Structure formats: structure tokens, C-alpha cells
Amino acid sequence: MNTYAFEKVAKVKYGLGTPNKTAEEEALGFINEQLPCINDQLSHNRYLTGTDITIADYIAFAYFENAELADFSLSDFDKVSQWYQQLKNSRVIHLAHHKLEKR
């Protein structure tokens, strides 16, 4: 997700050169291979590793935030989308964003 967002958004926004379409397409291919697996995992568990939230969820959430920046829709992956929205609306994420905004 990071490579996709970097090529599609960051390079243009920050004047870092022309987006590499090959890298963008490869990243998109990888994303589309992995999202069904993650969606399946979340169809059996509330969180990535089971019933309790772990650091894995927070780390993955940071990657999925880039999906929003790159206008990548998670709507085809309903469980991923639900999981993402749940974390996005959580108190912990709101506090983290608030601290980052103060910097």
C-alpha cells in the first residue's frame, strides 16, 4: 500500500518526480493478492490475530490509511473495510492523530 500511495500521491504532491507506473501496477497487484486473504482472516476473527486487538492491527491500520490517501477503495473487501472503520473511529487512533497534528 505504501508503494502504491507513494507513486500515486506523494511523488506528485511533493514534486518527487514522475510516478513510476510499473511500480504502481506491481504494488496494486500485490495489494489485490493480499486483501482477499486479510478479508478472509477478518471474516473469522474480529482482529487480525484473533479476538483481541494487537500491535499487528495498529501497524496494518497505518498501511491502510494510505489507501484513503490514494483513493483506493476497500469496499470490495467488506471485512477489511469494517475493521478499518472500527479502528479509524477508535479512541486510540483519534488520540494518536491528535498528537501528530500538534507536531
Task: Give the tens place of pLDDT for each residue, 11-50.
Answer: 999 999 999 999 999 999 999 999 999 999 999 999 999 9
Record the pTM. 0.86
pLDDT of 99: 82
Taking alpha carbons only, the member of 31, 20, 89, 68 closest to residue 39 is: 31
**What's the rounded mean pLDDT across residues 44-69?**
94
pLDDT exceeds 80 at position 103: no
Mean residue pLDDT across the chain: 93
Could you tell me which CATH class the domain 2-102 is placed in?
A: mainly alpha
